[in-house]
Amino acid sequence: MASSAANNILLNRISVNSDKVAFSELFKRYHSKLVSFATCFLPDYSEAEDMVSEVFIRLLKNPKGLKDIENFEGYLYYSVKNQCLNQLKKNKRKNNLFVPLDLQDCKTGEYSQPLEQLVTSELREKIAGCIDRLPQKRRLVYKMIKDDGLSVKDTANLLDIADKTVKKHLELAVRELRVEIQEYLSNRSSDSKVIPISTKLGNMGTVLLILGAFLS
């Protein structure tokens, strides 16, 4: 999650000096994350990208007011969510068919914790597969908190559910991931007739890294 202090500096530069470089930095900081978030509501990537662009265009039209936004990151997510929901309504009226929420397009990994890079690619695939199989709401909660770095409170507000419901979804998601990791390491160990001590220690280290990156 981006630093609030860093955001405030950029927002002030944009508001006071109409600083294009600062706006560009703000755009690069959030664009990809917001598009990924938008695809949770709009399965079409280009359409989701358009919604994010609309939000940034509105910001450009009123740069003086940016410095007055207290929680800028939360404001961005709320704006993108509302933009997507409005677009869904337009699509429904246009096609007379509701576009279902397809979380298959909410791919995790691009914004996963840095420690994930230390885990084997095979295990990363196992984890990604487990996340893909999570129930829709649980998967979205996990993505918003673990990938996008949102707080439990912000996630609850965005999804219009209680804080305790968010915590429960996250707890269940982490539990399923933990089982997946343990089964993988267990199967991997059973495939080898002789497991060197160093390998055992390496596996334990891997477990600790994974738990820190995915299950904290």
The residue with tokens 């530069």 is 13
Fold of 4-95: Rna Polymerase Sigma Factor; Chain: A (1.10.1740)
What pLDDT is stored for residue 211 in this prediction?
47
Fold (topology level) of 107-214: Arc Repressor Mutant, subunit A (1.10.10)
Is the pTM here over 0.75, yes or no? no
Q: What is the pLDDT of residues 69-120, one digit of tens each?
A: 888 888 899 899 899 988 888 877 665 434 444 444 444 444 444 434 444 5
Least confident span in 3-17, 52-66, 117-131: 117-131
| Residue pair 155/145 in contact by the 8 Å Cβ criterion | yes
The domain segmentation of the chain, as residue ranges, is 4-95, 107-214
Give dist(CA 45, CA 204) in Å, integer: 39
Share of the chain above pLDDT 90, in %: 9
Measured distance CA(136)–CA(102) in Å, rounded: 8
